[in-house]
Chain A
């Protein structure tokens, strides 16, 4: 018997309408969880997302040898068909027109102001994720064959999303992946599968500190990936195209604020690695419209006026937009908790309809 993924798992059909409407920005796991919960509680739910398909990173960030992409697709379809959730794709919620660009923005055809969205609904949940790639800040990063983890992984869904999805030729022969997290692993595995001659991963600490852990890294080494630890990139070499990566060998120092021992680059240990493509998967930062007004750090500290509500009244936040990149499970918890908190807030302020 085949099972299906169902974000509206609380009931077999939507709850009796309660007359309230909620907008959710972001159709990733936290947004879809919140949508499913609220639809089951009788809310009219509209989900906005800048990408052409719902699913967020489940669809666009995680390769389908890890997650069956049709399962995510079917889950969103089920929310629409069975639970009455409305989806507005290719629509980005922004603080003001022409805000800073994030990864994936090229897919949007429409922008809506958060203030307008708030005015049109009883409440809003922002599940806008972490779509700004952290940069290494080293020379040569602007070369065309240097891609972020997300930039590299997007084109792999290109076939289903139309020609604009193929922002870069996702092919390199000698690929260097920088990072030690799960996106770095996904990128390395995709590179191996797309026929790269040699895939090397550079990480500045050791395998024991790597967020992906020795188990995942071991699996990739079994597939032929070369693991170079204690390697800190210094510059990317090449005039018009990537020709190599220069890095310094490090030693481990005292634990830093993350609790992991920090890498100390050793003078004169410069080495050069030949490369024609570099994938920098060194993390992503939360992307929120009107970030300075929302003051999400207060939500993180539990210092917000209502649990999971931002400093903008009736605007809630959940998922990677709140926590930074994390596990799908945390995003689901966040979406559900924000939805429940929103419901309690509306009951409180509107007198429990």
Chain B
């Protein structure tokens, strides 16, 4: 594909926290489809409820932290995939600690963790991420990084900051 900016053309998921009402629909559909949800709700002490989700980072810290290379960024699509076949028996769960968005989850089985793959199987038949389709508030977007720039309103940035503060607190950082 001809594009000056291949990274900018990669599609990623983005949640506009200023539109999110904490209704849990995203988690519900993800859980229905995959058993263990890969977008999970959390709540601050004050009762602000919001979903934690994988940002499919340009430079994913989880991939860097994984000692066996079970997490990789697909440079073609931009998605960060977790390979359960390679992820075995790691007790350190360094990926969970490394993710700044709290978006890698304890699976508690032979494969210890799970994460969002942007509904890879659905993508194969031309369908978008399920959480985006079920969100009643139009808070979840699946867009290119270029399109994303236009979505980031002032309200969205303010809400994002509040959420990040909460995530840092949860992770025991200041």
Contact = CB atoms under 8 A, between A and B. Distances in A.
Contact of A67 (B21, B44, B48): B21
Q: Is the interface of A mostly helix, strand, loop or mixed?
A: helix
A141 to B, nearest CB: 29
B170 interface: no
Contacts of A292: none
A328 B22 CA distance: 9
Contacts of A327: 22-24
B98 interface: no
A4 B147 CA distance: 17
A332 B24 CA distance: 9
Nearest to A329: B24
B27 A329 contact: yes
Nearest to B23: A328
A333 B23 contact: no
Contacts of B130: 9
Q: Is the interface on chain A under 10, 10 to 19, 20 to 34, or 35 or more residues?
A: 20 to 34
Contacts of A336: 28-29, 32
Interface in A1-21: 1-7, 9, 11-12
B158 to A, nearest CB: 13
Interface string B9-31: 00000000000011111111101
A215 B20 CA distance: 14
A284 interface: no
Interface in A303-353: 327-330, 332-333, 336-337
A9 B133 contact: yes
B47 A72 contact: no
Interface residues of B, number: 34
Contact of A337 (B22, B32, B43, B125): B32
B147 A215 contact: no
Given A3-B140, A5-B136, A332 B29 contact: yes
A79 to B, nearest CB: 12
B25 A329 contact: yes
B122 to A, nearest CB: 8
B24 A214 contact: no
Contacts of B132: 3
Given A67-B136, A75-B136, A333-B31, 19 more contacts: A3-B133, A3-B138, A3-B140, A3-B141, A5-B134, A9-B29, A9-B133, A11-B127, A12-B126, A58-B136, A66-B137, A67-B137, A71-B137, A71-B138, A216-B47, A327-B23, A329-B41, A330-B24, A333-B32
Interface of A: 1-7, 9, 11-12, 29, 33, 58, 66-68, 71-72, 75, 212-216, 218, 327-330, 332-333, 336-337
Interface of B: 21-29, 31-32, 41, 43-44, 46-48, 125-128, 130, 132-138, 140-143, 147
7 contacts: A3-B135, A4-B133, A5-B138, A9-B130, A12-B125, A215-B48, A329-B28
